[in-house]
Structure 1
């Protein structure tokens, strides 16, 4: 692991007053605040509204986003044997296929887990439109279940969005937990840095000569999990499916060759690009498959030049990732200033641009 023997996760903690955890998204989307971090000068700046990010973008840059769409993956049903109520949270197809439309075997979380033994059957809907049988219990406690039919149509009618545990009320408009450019269903959580963009803002950005590129990473619930190990290097990343298409990789390589910057929107975009980066050639290459890439201080990020991101949970792999890009001390200084100035944190919170 890059020669680093230990990373004390306690060094990536910070005090966050609960009232700063955003419960609703800013309205309109691009009206949240934006903190601007200059890594080289170690300077912190502030913009009153996110849409002013345009001032920091240059002709020839490329803005890269994750086009994954959150599915309403939370189902409430009952146990066929006892009638007891239970909840199922679909994580991803068991065979890790990127196209989930016809998948019937899924990796899921079951609550309560007691009684969710192999062979147990769950029923959803008043007329048993959908059933699921437990085939396997994974070493980490998830269940592999087989539905009687592809569940996505049922989810779209009856499922609920799997909001993060720190958001206590459903948004009035479920689309506020989707990016405006989301096209590929498959995520259990939103790539939230992209929630700040509106179609009008994207038009302004394009009008400045900045290209818009898409990658795909289906986000898993691991994104919300704090690192429990004292030595962060002992943390095991869950696998997520991602894709960088060949023509997108070629265009991004050309951006750099011509002096432009690759600006990643969100940590999931970073993880996709870094997974697809070819160390030998120093360029991006096409990639399609699982990734467990783990980015932390001591790892050099080679695929990006700037990052748009939200404020992340203490002791999280996402805070480790942004610290790998900007430095731990500088990031914690920025986070402490954000707390002092009343920035809004986490999924529906404010944003930062790291240059």
Structure 2
């Protein structure tokens, strides 16, 4: 796919269809069910009815990463306030951040966290859009729980609340480490997970630490290199064994979300038709015309225009089918993005 074709994945979305707050209940969001390549296109229902499209023996795989409170407000000695997203610790005491109004910060400037004033940082250098802070204070996930806030997406255009601390996490999330939620999983409730178990539908987990790159705009370099931002993932051996058994026995594997799919496809060897367990890193950039062989179904939200996630969904299905589904969703007032409604995409002959 050529870079100039990215305009095909643009669309206009009314502001009132951007879901800036979660639905009243997780599984009461709407669900659009699609055939992956042909067959039915628009079966509209409620997410709690997803069980009507699943069957005994299906394998669902979800990203169990937990969102860290990496959004930290920093203040200078003069009281000027800067909002920073702490992305990663590249070396001990060296933190890569996205900081608002970073042009007002000079090399050597010192800032402290607004919440406690106990964490001190020095501006080390600037790298493109990133600000690099140095600190002699140990900063870990427990620290962020004290000084940080839930990093809700910028298009919410609001401050995070205590409700976001709960609803911007999946009910099965485990280890902290992501700067964004694997949003397809936000629709599941404990009751729905129990019903899956009652029907002998496996719900397996892996972890992929979602990075800020999930929000970044695509550029020509991404297409030239056919690579995206790097993300770490971990596929437990028990999960890999069950997935390999599913492949061997012709069971359907359904990915809960695009981050899960990115990890699955990175861990899957199409030659041996097996999944490799363990830790890994991926820069996989899936685009239309790419073959996705790791799974037969995908649960996903409606994504930002011209985004890598929209291209990934189009690779899993078909470009025109997905674009038509998005057009249908806009016309029928579906809610979009992280707190929005969802799609289930399945091979029609396997429904």
State whether TM-score is above 0.5: yes
Aligned residue for 1:107? 96
Kindly indicate whether residue 174 of structure 2 is the aligned counterpart of residue 177 of structure 1: no
Q: TM-score, normalised by structure 1?
A: 0.90
* Number of the residue aligned with 2:82: 86
Per-residue CA shift, 1:193-222, capped at 9, x if unaligned?
000000000000111111111111111111
Distance 1:14 1:245 in 2: 38
In the TM superposition, what is the alpha-carbon distance from 1:321 to its structure 2 partner? 0.2
Structure 2 partner of 1:26? 23
Structure 1 residue corresponding to 2:6, chosen from 4, 9, 13: 9
Structure 2 partner of 1:249: 240
Q: Which runs of 5+ in 2 are unaligned?
A: 347-351
**What residue ranges of structure 1 are gaps of 5+ in the alignment?**
96-102
Q: Secondary structure at the residue paired with 2:244? A: helix
Partner-residue secondary structure (3-state), 1:206? helix
User: Would you say how many aligned residue pairs link Structure 1 and Structure 2?
Assistant: 344
**How far has the Cα of 1:7 moved from its partner?**
5.7
1:137 — aligned with what? 126
Residues 83 and 291 of structure 1: is their aligned pair in 2 closer, same or farther, counting only changes over 3 Å?
Answer: same
Structure 1 residues 74 and 118, CA, compared in 2 at 3 Å: closer, same or farther?
same
Please give the alpha-carbon distance, in whole angstroms, between the structure 2 residues aligned to 1:328 and 1:22.
Answer: 24
Q: Distance in 2 between matches of 1:126 and 1:45?
A: 48
Q: Does 2:336 align with 1:345? A: yes
**1:353 CA drift (Å):** 0.2
Q: Relative to 1, partners in 2 of residues 1:227 and 1:177: Cα closer, same or farther, differing over 3 Å? A: same
Cα-to-partner distance string for 1:311-347 (whole Å, 9 max, x where unaligned): 0011000000000011110000100001111111000
CA distance in 2, matches of 1:232, 1:334: 25
Moved more, 36-45 or 59-68: 36-45
Aligned counterparts of 2:36 and 2:16: Cα–Cα separation in 1: 29
What is residue 154 of structure 2 aligned with on the other side? 165
Deviation of residue 246 (structure 1)? 2.2
1:279 positional shift: 3.3
Asked if the contact 1:12–1:319 (Cα under 8 Å) also holds between the matched residues in 2, the reply is yes
Deviations 1:95-123 (A, max 9, x none): 5xxxxxxx743321122212544433321
Query: Cα offset for 1:168?
Result: 2.6
TM-score (norm 2): 0.91
Partner of 2:183: 192
Q: SS at the partner of 2:284? A: coil
Measured in 2, the distance between the counterparts of 1:116 and 1:146 equals 16
- Counterpart position of 1:149: 138
SS at match of 1:44: coil
Q: Deviations over 1:268-304 (max 9, x none)?
A: 0001111111233121111413211111112111111
Q: Give 1:271-310 correspondences, 5 Å limit.
A: 271-310=262-301
What is the SS of the residue equivalent to 1:216?
strand
Q: Distance in 2 between matches of 1:231 and 1:291?
A: 14
Partner of 2:349: none
Alignment partners' CA distance in 2, 1:21 and 1:215: 29
CA distance in 1, matches of 2:129, 2:103: 14
Residue 40 of structure 1, CA deviation: 3.5
Higher alpha-carbon deviation: 163-172 or 240-249: 163-172
The structure carrying a bigger helix percent of its residues is: 2
Distance 2:8 2:134 in 1: 39
